[in-house]
Amino acid sequence: MSNEYCGIRTFLKAPIGKYTDSYDVAIIGCPYDMGTTYRSGSRFGPASIREASIMLTDGDHPIFETNPMINLKILDMGDIELSTNNPLNSYIKIEHALDQLNHYILLGGDHSITYNSLVSKKKKHGEFALLHFDAHGDCWEGTGPYGLDHGSFLRKAIENNVIDPKNILQFGIRSPEPKEIKRWRKDKGINSYSVQDIRSSGLQWIINLINDKFQDIPVYLTLDIDCLDCSVAPGTGTPEIGGFQSHEVQRILQNLDLNYIGMDIVEVSPPYDISNITSLAAATFVWEYLNKLCVL
């Protein structure tokens, strides 16, 4: 038996190389947190998620009996080279890098990077759906020269016709927000569900809702780690109480049968983590996604 902790820290020990269409999935890091509005540190997220993923390389999935490194052809492309003091230039670089890829998993970084990912998916797929796990609705007015921060990516995407609000499902929303922002989301027709909604209706109800609504459309998954309760995911920039437990998100991901076109995992901030539990949760959610691709 080999030692999991040996070797280069790529995601799941995936090979490093130049991307070609022969790969099923590309892993790409985006160490960017200049869109953060509270506490920074998610620029260190990609490295920490990769480190935590080594824990998941010693066997097959307990339910699906799959192994992504055997059943899929996966490439770790490393990180996008970003500017340290030029947000606009960084967002341009992110979008350009993603335009070269087909099915990818983007390791963040703060949630502002999802906007450029959605723009890239719009170019390739036209109409698609967004499955959004988060503590926050992310429909605030944007800030900065690009009008974008980690709390406004979805508003910018809707206002720029990148995605149709009717094709959005949000889960875990529970943070304080001005009533005008909440009303804006509702008026646009975005379907949002709090953790209390989900606990009242049950996980199977949510699973059925997602599968039924998105059965005939390509789906992009964006998963903000602060959808989890801060007791199980303290390593994030804007922690909120009253969130999901990690096993609940895990069960949802295991039971979705969707036409996935990519995902991102964002807002992991290692400086605030404890024993790497937040990074491990993030790495495991990506691992669950990959294992689901093996059986779809």
| Residues 218-223, mean pLDDT to the nearest whole number | 98
Q: What is the pLDDT of residues 158-197, one digit of tens each?
A: 999 999 999 999 999 999 999 999 999 999 999 999 999 9
- 65 within a domain of the structure (yes/no): yes
Predicted confidence band of residue 84 (pLDDT cuts 50, 70, 90): confident
For residue 105, give the CATH number of its domain.
3.40.800.10
Q: How many domains does the chain have?
A: 1
Q: What is the pLDDT of residue 2?
A: 58
6 within a domain of the structure (yes/no): no
Predicted structure pTM score:
0.96
What is the reported pLDDT for 147? Answer: 83
- Residues 89-104: what's their mean pLDDT? 95
| Ranges 1-15, 134-148, 227-241, most confident | 227-241
In a domain, 132, yes or no: yes
- Whole-number pLDDT of residue 142: 85
State the SS3 of the chain.
CCCCCCCCCCHHHCCECCCCCCCCEEEEEECCCCCCCCCCCHHHHHHHHHHHHHHHCCCCCCCCCCCHHHHCCEEEEEECCCCCCCHHHHHHHHHHHHHCCCCEEEEECCCCHHHHHHHHHHHHHCCCEEEEECCCCCCCCCCCCCCCCCCCHHHHHHHCCCCCHHHEEEECCCCCCCHHHHHHHHHHCCEEECHHHHHHHCHHHHHHHHHHHCCCCEEEEEEEHHHECCCCCCCECCCCCCCECHHHHHHHHHCCCCEEEEEEEECECHHHCCCCHHHHHHHHHHHHHHHHHHHC
Domain that holds residue 48: 11-295
Question: Is 182 a member of any domain?
Answer: yes
Domain membership flag for residue 2: no
Q: Does residue 4 form part of some domain?
A: no
Does residue 30 register a pLDDT over 90? Answer: yes
pLDDT given at position 257: 98
Q: What is the pLDDT of residue 260?
A: 98
pLDDT digits (tens, 9 = 90+) for 254-276: 999 999 999 999 999 999 999 99
| Residue 187 lies inside a defined structural domain of this protein | yes
* pLDDT score, position 86: 86
Per-residue pLDDT at 128 exceeds 60: yes
Length of the chain: 296
Identify whether 179 is part of a domain.
yes
At 282, is the pLDDT very low, low, confident or very high (cuts 50, 70, 90)? very high
The answer to whether residue 13 scores a pLDDT higher than 80 is: yes
Q: 145 pLDDT exceeds 80?
A: no
Q: How many CB atoms lie within 10 A of CB 67?
A: 17
